[in-house]
Chain A
């Protein structure tokens, strides 16, 4: 190969794009030819200069259309979950509190009922003839303060004869 052909192939030689035979030929030529050797060295130097030309990197390469959108959804779900959890806890607390107060009230009413029943002596029961059934029922209704409990009290009286 002549110098012109060698020089055209020096880039391919550096980038190892040539066949072994061509490489060998160019190498042998450059050992003898100062001009071609200089061309080779200059190209090597240029490549080294350019390799040091670093890309200016951004702090964080974000493509908001996808990645950030996903993160936003995730971020949105977490507080929503917390709010829902708090709301659920509040509902549970409210339910338990109401149930508890209802039970306390019921126990209180039952105590009053028992005291009322106990306070009625046999004599008084006899006197109860003077009471109409309606009077007793009215008193029990006031004690019960609740339709359901009132029915239970009436049932109790009927079953146990007032005890």
Chain B
């Protein structure tokens, strides 16, 4: 069943088919939400809220864009808003994933790198982080990202290149160590 047909049937009352959309996109939505928020719990909340909102507004989905673009639009905006809301409350949270191994020096270095990457990522404005994540980790085209964020392709590409320059500056110590 193709996606327009799936949407048509859901609109006609076969609401259980919405599960197919959830199953297909939940991980993709989660990954991008996590990259914007850098929090497992917040990313999970975004995934749930995103699908609930999508389900409630499915009748107004005209199919001008793909389901993927539509879902990313909802979830990325939710993630950015949540990040801005959280930022008012706290700053960067501590990494809970610090692990220990038989090689403490190597492990320490790895954890430091992970923490520095996180700090570098969080130094980007959330919208720029969203652009970077969609392009770099999800291999999306600039045209697709521009539809998700409602920006021009040129603006998206410029923001992506700017993000790379900033990350390179923040992580130069590690780059030169490689």
Determine if B8 is an interface residue (Cβ-Cβ < 8 Å): no
Which of A11, A45, A53, A65 is close to B175, meaning CB atoms less than 8 Å apart?
A: A45
Known interface pairs A65-B48, A66-B19; A46-B55 also in contact (CB < 8 Å): no
Residue pair A67, B34 in contact (C-beta under 8 Å): no
Q: Which residues of A have CB within 8 Å of B72?
A: none
Residue pair B35, A46 in contact (C-beta under 8 Å): no
A-B CB pair tally, cutoff 8 Å:
70
B80 to chain A, nearest CB (A): 18
Question: What 1/0 mask marks residues of chain A from 39 to 64 whose CB sits below 8 Å from any chain B CB?
Answer: 00011011111101101111001011
Residue pair B161, A49 in contact (C-beta under 8 Å): no
In the complex, which residue of chain A has the Cβ closest to the Cβ of B139? A15
Known interface pairs A55-B31, A56-B97; A49-B175 also in contact (CB < 8 Å): yes
B158 to chain A, nearest CB (A): 11
Determine if A102 is an interface residue (Cβ-Cβ < 8 Å): no
Determine if A156 is an interface residue (Cβ-Cβ < 8 Å): no
Residue pair A55, B35 in contact (C-beta under 8 Å): yes
* Chain A residues within 8 Å of B, Cβ to Cβ: 8, 11, 42-43, 45-50, 52-53, 55-58, 61, 63-67, 70
Residue pair B178, A66 in contact (C-beta under 8 Å): no
Determine if B22 is an interface residue (Cβ-Cβ < 8 Å): yes
Residue pair A65, B171 in contact (C-beta under 8 Å): no
Task: Tally B residues with Cβ within 8 Å of A.
Answer: 35
Q: Which residues of A have CB within 8 Å of B16?
A: 66, 70
Q: Interface residues of B: mostly helix, strand, loop or mixed?
A: helix
Residue pair B164, A49 in contact (C-beta under 8 Å): no
Residue pair B30, A58 in contact (C-beta under 8 Å): yes
Name the interface residues of B24-44: CB closer than 8 Å to any CB of A: 26-27, 30-31, 34-35, 40, 43-44
Which of A46, A49, A58 is close to B40, meaning CB atoms less than 8 Å apart?
A: A58
Residue pair B26, A56 in contact (C-beta under 8 Å): no
Name the interface residues of B135-178: CB closer than 8 Å to any CB of A: 136, 160-161, 164, 167-168, 171, 174-175, 178
Residue pair B171, A61 in contact (C-beta under 8 Å): no
Known interface pairs A48-B178, A56-B97; A66-B22 also in contact (CB < 8 Å): yes
Residue pair B34, A65 in contact (C-beta under 8 Å): no
Q: Which residues of B have CB within 8 Å of A8?
A: 161
A129 to B127, CA, bound (A): 116
Q: Which residues of B have CB within 8 Å of A46?
A: 164, 167-168, 171, 175
Determine if B117 is an interface residue (Cβ-Cβ < 8 Å): yes
Which of B19, B34, B48 is close to A55, meaning CB atoms less than 8 Å apart?
A: B34
A90 to B30, CA, bound (A): 51
In the complex, which residue of chain B has the Cβ closest to the Cβ of A39? B168
Residue pair A11, B164 in contact (C-beta under 8 Å): yes
Name the interface residues of B91-147: CB closer than 8 Å to any CB of A: 97, 113-114, 117-118, 121, 136
Q: Which residues of A have CB within 8 Å of B34?
A: 55-56
In the complex, which residue of chain B has the Cβ closest to the Cβ of A53? B117
Q: Which residues of B have CB within 8 Å of A52?
A: 113, 117
Enumerate 12 A-B pairs (CB-CB under 8 Å) in ascending A order: A11-B161, A11-B164, A43-B168, A45-B175, A50-B117, A52-B113, A52-B117, A53-B114, A53-B118, A53-B121, A61-B26, A65-B48
